[in-house]
């Protein structure tokens, strides 16, 4: 399958000399994956929130375990389609690198505070980490191949305007973005990015519900569809009607491993829940694979074809996400915690802007000194805050408050 990726797909922004003759023989895309696995930004994901804080329970996912699960789904689906699985896996491992402390809650805070420097968006921050902030090649970050970088780009367009919007690149990262997108048709995702995107949807639609069940917040045998449908419409599918969602739920309940008794914490109950997780992932990925093969003869690489996700699969994933949204993300204790997290991050940004380079880690202090204006210095502060884990953000905030 590697011969389906041409020289442009394998090109790196900074040319690299040949490897030693005694080094293991690896493809450029295998090297990309290895660089991502060894990156400091990847390790920090272990201490960043997925849905609930990583310190709250030994079972729940954090950003790293979520990324590993997304990577497994993406690799299997990519292999089934005949594309390069190392590219899809690396994109999946990288897809959440740009998330700041406290997950999407923290992302919203930084987006609001970052208006003066072009906003903040986790996916644009991922590109910035891969191409600038993560140290491997001076001036090029990890210096990944064009095909891998492109696969990591979930939203291949610049910021369309003010507000909390999705985009994939900040203005000052446009040169590397434009290099990466050479030959790309408009704002279309490459096939490998589409695989990563679906794998992310599959993983968090299924696993967030699994975590909610184990935490005692979700009972799949008895829940209030009216409240869940409201969450589905508010968060995911604004035009979905009750009849469609009722029918979609009936289809999910028809899965043979759907529970018929409440989760009780036993090994038998956990095994049954794991079987459901596996069946749902197979259901969604299998549906996408069949629909994709039906729509095109391929090859399923880069821009030669698109991934096709059937509407029924999208509806079923949205129903699962709605269950988690209502019973986990909108729970009273979770809402109160999120408010405290927002206040802490807002104060931390203010403190770092006020203190300047003396309060920043050395790489970001160097960036501060090189910054041309206040907007560029604010971007440096956002880079610093986004690099922190949940706990290190709390510690940094406490330290700066206690030592004016």
- Domain boundaries along the sequence of the chain: 2-180, 191-334
- Of the listed ranges 43-52, 96-105, 112-121, the one predicted with least confidence: 43-52
How confident is the model at residue 19, as a pLDDT? 73
How confident is the model at residue 338, as a pLDDT? 87
pLDDT band at residue 246 under the 50/70/90 scheme: very high
Query: Mean per-residue pLDDT for 7-11?
Result: 96
Query: Mean per-residue pLDDT for 316-339?
Result: 89
Query: Mean per-residue pLDDT for 267-289?
Result: 97
pLDDT band at residue 150 under the 50/70/90 scheme: very high
Question: Rounded distance, CA 393 to CA 345, Å?
Answer: 8
Per the prediction, the chain carries an average pLDDT of 93
Would you tell me the crossing angle of helices 85-94 and 63-81 to the nearest 10 degrees? 160
pLDDT band at residue 249 under the 50/70/90 scheme: very high
How confident is the model at residue 104, as a pLDDT? 85
How confident is the model at residue 163, as a pLDDT? 75
- Only one residue has tokens 């610093």, namely 384
How confident is the model at residue 398, as a pLDDT? 96
**pTM confidence score:** 0.93
Residue 203 has pLDDT above 50, yes or no: yes
Residue 248 has pLDDT above 70, yes or no: yes
How confident is the model at residue 53, as a pLDDT? 46
Question: Rounded distance, CA 335 to CA 139, Å?
Answer: 41
Percent of the chain predicted with pLDDT > 70 = 95
pLDDT band at residue 21 under the 50/70/90 scheme: low
Residue 271 has pLDDT above 60, yes or no: yes
Higher pLDDT, residue 53 or 372: 372
Q: Which residue, 296, 278, 284, is CA-closest to 191?
A: 296
How confident is the model at residue 54, as a pLDDT? 46
pLDDT band at residue 49 under the 50/70/90 scheme: low
Residue 39 has pLDDT above 90, yes or no: yes
Cβ-contact 96, 64 below 8 angstroms: no
pLDDT band at residue 371 under the 50/70/90 scheme: very high
Which pairs with CB-CB distance under 8 Å and at least 24 residues apart come from 287-290? 287/312, 287/313, 288/77, 288/198, 288/313, 289/77, 289/80, 289/81
How confident is the model at residue 10, as a pLDDT? 96
How confident is the model at residue 180, as a pLDDT? 98
Residue 106 has pLDDT above 60, yes or no: yes
Query: Mean per-residue pLDDT for 303-325?
Result: 97
Whole-angstrom CA distances from 30 to 10, 86, 190 are: 11, 6, 19
Query: Mean per-residue pLDDT for 55-66?
Result: 68
* CATH top-level class of 2-180: mainly alpha
Percent of the chain predicted with pLDDT > 90 = 83
């Amino acid at each position: 399958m590697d011969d389906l990726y041409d020289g442009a797909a394998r090109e790196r922004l900074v040319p690299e000399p040949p490897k030693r003759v005694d080094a293991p023989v690896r493809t450029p895309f295998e090297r990309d994956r290895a660089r991502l696995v060894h990156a400091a930004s990847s390790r920090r994901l272990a201490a960043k929130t997925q849905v609930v804080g990583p310190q709250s329970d030994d079972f729940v996912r954090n950003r790293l375990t979520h990324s590993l699960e997304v990577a497994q789904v993406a690799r299997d689906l990519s292999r089934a389609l005949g594309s390069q699985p190392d590219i899809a896996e690396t994109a999946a491992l990288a897809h959440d690198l740009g998330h700041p402390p406290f997950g999407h809650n923290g992302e919203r805070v930084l987006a609001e505070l970052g208006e003066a420097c072009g906003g903040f968006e986790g996916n644009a921050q991922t590109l910035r980490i891969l191409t600038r902030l993560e140290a491997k090649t001076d001036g090029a970050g990890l210096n990944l191949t064009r095909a891998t970088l492109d696969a990591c780009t979930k939203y291949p367009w610049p910021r369309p305007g003010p507000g909390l919007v999705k985009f994939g690149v900040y203005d000052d990262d446009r040169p590397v973005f434009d290099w990466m997108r050479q030959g790309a048709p408009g704002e279309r995702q490459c096939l490998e990015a589409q695989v990563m995107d679906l794998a992310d949807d599959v993983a968090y639609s299924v696993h967030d519900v699994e975590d909610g069940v184990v935490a005692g917040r979700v009972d799949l045998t008895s829940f209030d569809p009216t409240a869940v449908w409201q969450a589905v419409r508010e968060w995911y599918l604004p035009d979905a009607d009750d009849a469609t969602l009722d029918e979609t739920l009936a289809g999910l309940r028809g899965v043979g491993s759907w529970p018929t008794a409440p989760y009780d914490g036993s090994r038998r109950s956990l095994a049954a829940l794991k079987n459901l997780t596996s069946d749902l992932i197979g259901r969604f990925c299998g549906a996408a694979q069949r629909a994709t093969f039906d729509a095109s003869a391929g090859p399923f690489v880069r821009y030669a074809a698109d991934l096709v996700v059937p509407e029924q699969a999208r509806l079923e994933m949205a129903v699962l996400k709605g269950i988690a949204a209502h019973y986990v993300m909108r729970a009273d204790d979770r809402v109160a915690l999120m408010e405290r997290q927002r206040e802490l991050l807002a104060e931390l940004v203010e403190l770092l802007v006020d203190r300047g380079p003396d309060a920043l880690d050395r790489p970001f202090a160097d960036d501060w000194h090189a910054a041309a204006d206040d907007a560029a210095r604010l971007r440096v502060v956002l880079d610093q805050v986004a690099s922190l884990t949940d706990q290190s953000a709390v510690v940094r905030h406490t330290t700066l408050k206690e030592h004016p």
